[in-house]
Chain A
Amino acid sequence: MSDDNAVEATLTVGNQLGLHARVATMMVQAMRNYASKVTLCKDGVEVDARSVLGLLLLAATPGSEILVRAQGPDSKEAIETIGRLIQNEEQ
């Protein structure tokens, strides 16, 4: 695996209740459409974007900063999807 497809982005949580159950659920479900390995990192804790428990335990409250890393053939698209989910203020 080459590093060419590794992408990372720092995103701010826009969801009203933080990265909560509904958003975490949508994220795990959305990640099924991607082949890349995706992780979310906050305060030195790194979790798999495909683990609901991991996402909830990140305790990402509204406004907190998250470093998202993706590696794989569709890493860019995967990060875009994550961005849309955690910046969605309606959810």
Chain B
Amino acid sequence: MKNNKPIEQSPECAPATPLENHANMLLKGIGVSGGVGIGQAVVIERFTEEICPKRMLKNDEIPPEVARFEEAVKAAAEHYRQIKNQVLSHQRLQNHVYILDTHILLLEDRMFFEGTKQAIATERQNAEWAVSETISKIMCAFDGIEDEYLRERARDIHFVGERVLRILMGMSSESKIQHLPPNSVIIAHDLSPADTAQIKGESVIGFAMDMGGKTSHTAIMARSLKIPAVTGLENLSSVTQTGDTIILDGTTGIVILNPDPEMLFRYRQRQELYRKYQLSLMTYGRLPAVTRCGSQSVRITANIELVDEIDIALSHGSEGIGLFRTEYLFLGRPDLPTEEQQYDAYRQVLMHNKPNSVTIRTLDVGGDKIALGIHTSHESNPALGLRAIRLCLERKDMFRTQLRAILRASVHGNCKLLIPMISCLTELQATKAIIKDVQEELTAEGAEFDRHISLGILVEVPSAVAIADLLAKEVDFFSIGTNDLIQYALAIDRVNEHVNYLYDTLHPAVLRLIRQVTHVGQAAGIEVAMCGEMAGDPLNVPILLGLGIHELSMNPLSIPIVKKLIRQVRMDECRTLTDRAFQMQHADEIHSYLEGWMRERFPTDYFFD
């Protein structure tokens, strides 16, 4: 079947008219990464099929043409590997590395690789023609897919084909993206993740694209890089010329081309406001979390999962690590990490946070998070299955290795040990017996470790709340894991679209469970921390202070705003507010009460639009 569909779908828009003299041309897209950018447009030219040469090959031209194609694929793979290495060293983009692996695998995929070679050999098409034909056919196959996300993957094979074509045609892969003047706003029909990854942060102050939505990889990367971005602008790239002045509001999705002085002035003010707001927040990050009445009862710490996140945590003002999720050492690899590899990671986190504490959570996999090196059997209800401490008690070898690594690292800082998913006393006692055994083993070997390491449990199963008084006698601290606790207590799967509307942090039951834990903590004289998402939302903070939580551990980016709020409130008003909230019957009622209180107390501080 012949398929003449162009490889680059043309945008649905009127033909571009010369608009460079039109002042204040306003376009509305989707704001996907917040902030205001004002700068000079750099239009990344589109690669169109029209410039792709097509000719029939003579017999003797076929083998060298196949070889030329194979060389181009090799060069493209090398190009992606290089970008991958750049991305690996860029800590904010590390989660996106897999996209480049996907691109490399697409290059090697039989359907593309063999398909193109066959088109050269049997259809006598030159390499460029054969590549664009093969890509068109593959993209066509994606058209039939109903699921939007999976259908969108056709873009990935398109990007890969374009890369090979550029190489075949001797077009510089050093696109404009690599040498940008300062204050550049990148304008493109669509940017491949590989292109985005190459952009040097300093000179780029914004992205605007014709295609894409909130979930496109480029949007996700822009948010990681904290650069304003607007997508879904339809025909922006065809009406903009490189050098045009452009305003980009990544919060509202508005883009203004060639603004007049008045418009420019307005947006400079808005930009300043946004910048000041962000800056002032960062200032709060550096200040201590002391309430207006002088109470220093709460510590603000960060949740991290990678050693590389320490910098972000510290720069945002964390006073230690309240949750170091160790499972990332185990995920995405075919085997288990060795004791030395783990020891190294724990030691680094501990050393960099000295003298502040680092709470290391033992392996929390199984169920929804699965490490390849751990063989688990299929479970029909993984959330209630063999996971976290249950899996560790079953796989004692693996658990002991982790405990050895943590204990050995404990001498390098202020280390706390956190056990996830404890649901009964037996489990906790079994865990403690293993810890004791490992400690004795280390002592016998003459290894150094902190003999008084603080031991805590993650309170996330409702049964642990119910028997908190029994568990408190066995541990040095509690940490409330709200994400799972809410899920288990309300019997709601957060990712199930039919019931997730019922997931409510401020459900009276959730607040009562938390209060029960803090009461037990006070009676037993042990600290109670919180490390779920609930802890990082300023709206919840007054109630959490009122309940007497000792440590709030959160996404590092939330620390400045939470500290700001803490510094503005008094403990007595938090307690009064908490008492009022506990008299209410519905989550909605509590929610609007808290929001009303915040609006009244701080009319402009927490509702920046």
Confirm or deny: B149 has a beta carbon within 8 angstroms of a beta carbon on chain A.
Answer: yes
Confirm or deny: A35 has a beta carbon within 8 angstroms of a beta carbon on chain B.
Answer: no
From residue 73 to 101 of chain B, which have CB atoms closer than 8 A to chain A?
Answer: 98-99, 101
Confirm or deny: B208 has a beta carbon within 8 angstroms of a beta carbon on chain A.
Answer: no
Contact B149 A53 (CB under 8 A): no
Contact A56 B375 (CB under 8 A): no
From residue 133 to 153 of chain B, which have CB atoms closer than 8 A to chain A?
Answer: 138, 141-142, 145-147, 149-150, 153
Residue A52 contacts which of B109, B145, B147, B369 (CB distance < 8 angstroms)? B109
> In whole angstroms, how far apart are the Cα atoms of A57 and B149 in the complex?
12
Over the window 28-62 of chain A, the binary record of Cβ atoms lying under 8 Å from chain B Cβ atoms (1 yes, 0 no) is 11100100000000000000100111101101110
Residue B102 contacts which of A18, A25, A48 (CB distance < 8 angstroms)? A25
Contact A21 B382 (CB under 8 A): no
Residue A21 contacts which of B98, B109, B334 (CB distance < 8 angstroms)? B98
Contact A87 B110 (CB under 8 A): no
Confirm or deny: A4 has a beta carbon within 8 angstroms of a beta carbon on chain B.
Answer: no
User: With A18-B147, A22-B98, A90-B368 as given contacts, are A84 and B106 in contact (CB-CB < 8 Å)?
Assistant: no
Nearest B-chain residue to A80, judged by Cβ: B375
Contact A61 B150 (CB under 8 A): yes
> In whole angstroms, how far apart are the Cα atoms of A40 and B98 in the complex?
22
Over the window 429-465 of chain B, the binary record of Cβ atoms lying under 8 Å from chain A Cβ atoms (1 yes, 0 no) is 0000000000000000000000000000000000000
- A60 cross-chain contacts in B, Cβ below 8 A: 150
Nearest B-chain residue to A16, judged by Cβ: B495
> In whole angstroms, how far apart are the Cα atoms of A25 and B369 in the complex?
17
In the assembled complex, the CB of A1 is this many whole angstroms from the nearest CB of chain B, namely 21
> In whole angstroms, how far apart are the Cα atoms of A18 and B151 in the complex?
12
Over the window 8-30 of chain A, the binary record of Cβ atoms lying under 8 Å from chain B Cβ atoms (1 yes, 0 no) is 00010000111111101110111
Confirm or deny: B6 has a beta carbon within 8 angstroms of a beta carbon on chain A.
Answer: no
Nearest A-chain residue to B371, judged by Cβ: A84
- A80 cross-chain contacts in B, Cβ below 8 A: 375
In the assembled complex, the CB of A62 is this many whole angstroms from the nearest CB of chain B, namely 9
Contact A57 B495 (CB under 8 A): no
In the assembled complex, the CB of A23 is this many whole angstroms from the nearest CB of chain B, namely 10
**What are 21 contact pairs spanning A and B, CB under 8 A?**
A20-B150, A21-B102, A21-B153, A21-B156, A24-B102, A26-B332, A29-B101, A29-B105, A52-B106, A52-B109, A53-B109, A53-B112, A54-B111, A57-B145, A81-B372, A87-B378, A88-B368, A88-B369, A88-B370, A89-B367, A90-B368
A residues engaging B (CB < 8 A)? 11, 16-22, 24-26, 28-30, 33, 48, 51-54, 56-57, 59-61, 80-81, 83-85, 87-90
B residues engaging A (CB < 8 A)? 98-99, 101-102, 105-106, 109-112, 138, 141-142, 145-147, 149-150, 153, 156-157, 332, 334, 367-370, 372, 375-376, 378, 382, 495
